[in-house]
Amino acid sequence: MIRENVLVTIRYNMKDSRGEVLENRSVTYRHGSPSISRVLQSQLHGLEVGDQKQVLLRKGEEDADDDFTFDITVEAITEAPPPERGAPGTSVKLHLLSGFLGSGKTTAIREAAKYLEKQNISVAVITNDQGSHLVDGNLFTYLGIPSGQVTGGCFCCNYNDLTLAIRHLVTHNTPSVVFAESVGSCTDLVATVLKPLLQQHPEWQPTMTVFADARLLSKETTPFEGTVNYIYNKQLEEAQVIVVSKIDQLKDPAKIKKTLQARYPGKTII
């Protein structure tokens, strides 16, 4: 039964007031933690594995900008170990960000950090590159945002370094949100990073978002050669969420969203 301090896995379908599906995925959280909406948790209390329920988050509740409906199925309930100092925090949300160079990842993280800090939500950032000296990492240090670095290869080649960096930030800075920005040439993150994290650290609730420059998406073919083009398309294929940046450069931004929804059905397009 869902009660305080158990790990709960739910599958949910989230719709807005117009009936548009915004998300359809599974998530694991510790019941009673601030990692997901308190309003939603209160409506799940007492449910058993296999139970289904429709819950509501109304406009204005927890700063929601619309009425949202969640069709929820309880997939698993397990006893959670007590949190230890230095262990992955139960209230940490980990967001993996991927996308080609110039797609806007670093800028988005910087602005998200500002936005969250204004709401007293602490943020930390992990940057990544093939080299040993990361300009982006120094940028976040300059901005006063706690940060770590994974150098000498992408996240998929340095998975242990990534988890160590997260643990270090959790232990020393206690962030509520961690953004992990992968090097622009990285792909296959779902199999090599996201799935292992979901299995080993479900309390981090890892998600994966890919950024894409609207100007490239609007072209019939990308300007890359074969190998690079494969990586570019693979990043988009494996994303849970695709964020289209620089839409102000297009005459018809709505056309891109429609094209992407047809090309990648079931994904969240922002």
Q: Which residues contact 90 (CB under 8 A, 6 or more apart)?
A: 30, 33, 35, 80, 83, 203
Our measurement of the distance from residue 84's CA atom to the centroid of its chain's CA atoms, rounded to an integer in Å, reads 24
Mean pLDDT of 142-160: 85
Please name which of 229, 247, 256 lies closest in space to residue 103, comparing C-alpha atoms. Answer: 247
- Highest mean pLDDT among 98-102, 131-135, 219-223 belongs to 98-102
pLDDT tens digits for range 37-71: 778 888 999 999 999 999 998 888 876 788 999 99
Q: What pLDDT score does 88 carry?
A: 42
Helix (H) or strand (E) holding 54: strand 52-57
Say yes or no to pLDDT of 157 above 70: yes
Q: What pLDDT is stored for residue 65 in this prediction?
A: 80
* Alpha carbon distance 232, 212 (integer Å): 9
Measured distance CA(176)–CA(225) in Å, rounded: 40
Lookup: tokens for 112: 């998200």
Average pLDDT of the residues of the chain: 84
Residue-level pLDDT at 200 = 84
> What band does 90 get if pLDDT is binned at 50, 70 and 90?
very low
* pLDDT tier for residue 107 given thresholds of 50, 70 and 90: very high
**Selection from 186, 197, 211, 216 nearest residue 269 by Cα:** 211
| Strand ranges of the sheet holding 241-245, from the earlier edge strand across to the other edge | 147-150, 123-128, 177-181, 93-99, 207-213, 241-245, 268-269
pLDDT in tens, 247-264: 888 888 888 888 888 888
Residue 214 has pLDDT above 80, yes or no: yes
Position 237 pLDDT exceeds 90: no
List, in sequence order, every beta strand (DSSP E) within 129-262: 147-150, 177-181, 207-213, 241-245
Query: In the chain, what's the furthest Cα-to-Cα distance?
Result: 55
Instruction: Identify the pLDDT of residue 185.
Output: 80
* Percent of the chain residues past pLDDT 70, beyond the cut: 90
C-beta of residue 60 within 8 angstroms of C-beta of residue 39: no
Residue 52 near residue 10 (C-beta atoms within 8 A): no
Nearest to 38 by CA among 4, 13, 89: 4
Cα separation, 234 vs 166, whole angstroms: 26
Please give the pLDDT value at position 96: 94
At residue 256, the pLDDT reads 84
List the structure tokens of 191.
């199999």
pLDDT tens, residue by residue, 173-206: 889 999 999 988 877 888 889 988 888 888 888 9
Query: Residue 4, CB half-sphere, CA atoms under 13 Å: how many?
Result: 0
Whether residue 10 contacts residue 74, with contact meaning beta carbons closer than 8 Å, is answered with yes
What pLDDT is stored for residue 80 in this prediction? 66
